[in-house]
Amino acid sequence: MTDHIIVTDDGFIRTIQFNRPEKKNAILHAMYAKITDAMRDADVNPSIRVIVFKGTPGSFTAGNDMMDFVKGQRPEAKPHADSQPVRMFLKALPEIQTPMVAIVDGIAVGVGVTMLMHCDLVYCSPNASFMTPFTALGLVPEAASSLLMPAAIGHQQAAELLLLSKPINAKDALRMGFVTRVFKASKLEKKAKKEIDALAALPPSAVREAKRLMRRLPEPVADRMAVEGKAFSARLSSEEFTEAASAFMSRRKPDFSKFK
């Protein structure tokens, strides 16, 4: 079987790569489990100072695998269990103390965007596109994005993504402030690496402490995730999501006109 998540260590840097390009790097349960293990392990490994997430050319990730979303709602899958790989991944995001950097080329959808709110630096190419189609799928935001995104970029800007489900291009993402810098696609990896190397060369305890201080928010992120998690699970069993998922799978436009 192909390795859908590739983990490599190079000096102080651990890179976690989404590698399922034929499905735009949509994330399966097993992939969440491997990513979480790699993050947790890096966080207690004193020789790792930076965690980097990247995808494949043209795709960061299309978010949660749609089929897994649907399968995950069956009672035997225990959708509400904290041991669900996706929940364990979401829980890890705010708990990781090691700085996290994302390199985004092409599409980032759903959790592929909301996880960026937990990354300390985000570098993307001009062809990056950011989409959080939660409402379009009959769902609600997750990963504490309903808290972190309005706090980071302002309610009205966040509403374009989280309420309107509108795709945002690299230029707008930079203007809104959830991307650190945009680099030419051909230079993206090289230029991002320069910044990542600089971060890894700084005093590691000071960097972690600075991150901890910067991440202090009025409402604990974990509390917001729990509230979102309940709403999200309920939405996954809604008729609106069922319509959106079946439309995606049969490649037709969803019809929400019958819903009140």
Least distance (Å) from ligand COA to the CB of residue 54?
17
- Determine the straight-line distance between the first and last CA of the chain, rounded to whole angstroms: 44
Q: Which residue is nearest to ligand COA (CB)?
A: 110
Nearer to ligand COA, 109 or 119 (CB): 109
The nearer residue to ligand COA, 98 or 146, going by C-beta atoms, is 146
Q: Smaller CB distance to ligand COA: residue 107 or 207?
A: 107
Nearer to ligand COA, 202 or 249 (CB): 249
Rg of the chain's alpha carbons, rounded to an integer?
Answer: 18
Minimum Å gap between C-beta 114 and ligand COA is: 9
| Residue 69 C-beta: closest distance to ligand COA, Å | 7
Least distance to ligand COA from the beta carbon of 165, Å? Answer: 9
Q: Which is nearer to ligand COA, 133 or 204 (CB)?
A: 133
Whichever of 58 and 150 has its CB closer to ligand COA, that residue is 58
Q: Under the rule (CB under 6 A), what is the footprint of ligand COA?
A: 23-24, 26, 62-67, 107, 109-110, 133-134, 137
Closest contact distance (angstroms) between CB of 195 and ligand COA is 27
Tokens representing residue 54 in the block: 């990247």
